[in-house]
Amino acid sequence: MARRASQDPETNAPVPEPRDQIAALPVRVLDDGTIEILLVTSRETRRWIVPKGWPMNGLRDDEAAGVEAREEAGIKGKLLREPIGRYAYWQRTRTHMRFNQVDVFLMRVDKMLKRWKEKDQRERQWFTPLDAADLVLEPQLGQLFLRLSGQQEARRFLRLDKPKGEVAKPKKRKADDAAPTR
Cβ neighbours for 50, distance < 8 A, ≥ 6 positions apart: 23, 24, 25, 26, 37, 39, 40, 104, 136, 141
Interior angle at CA 53, CA 101 and CA 56, nearest 5: 105
DSSP helix/strand/coil, 129: helix
Cβ neighbours for 47, distance < 8 A, ≥ 6 positions apart: 41, 136, 137
Measured between alpha carbons, how far is 27 from 169 in angstroms, rounded to an integer?
A: 13
Measured between alpha carbons, how far is 92 from 144 in angstroms, rounded to an integer?
A: 23
Mean of per-residue pLDDT scores for the chain: 86
Residue 171's pLDDT band (cuts 50, 70, 90): low
Measured between alpha carbons, how far is 67 from 51 in angstroms, rounded to an integer?
A: 9
Residue 91's pLDDT band (cuts 50, 70, 90): confident
Give pTM, 2 decimals. Answer: 0.80
Read off the pLDDT of each residue in 112-129 and give the average, rounded to a whole number: 94
Give me the half-sphere count of Cα atoms (radius 13 Å) on the Cβ side of residue 18: 12
Residue 174's pLDDT band (cuts 50, 70, 90): low
Backbone angles phi, psi at 159, to 5 degrees: 60, 40
Domains and CATH numbers, the chain: 15-160 (3.90.79.10)
Q: What is the pLDDT of residue 92?
A: 77
Q: What is the pLDDT of residue 178?
A: 52
Residue 3's pLDDT band (cuts 50, 70, 90): very low
pLDDT per residue over 25-52, tens digit each? 999 999 998 999 999 999 888 999 999 9
Q: Specify the higher pLDDT residue, 61 or 11.
A: 61
Sign for the CA dihedral angle at 86, 93, 132, 172 comes to positive
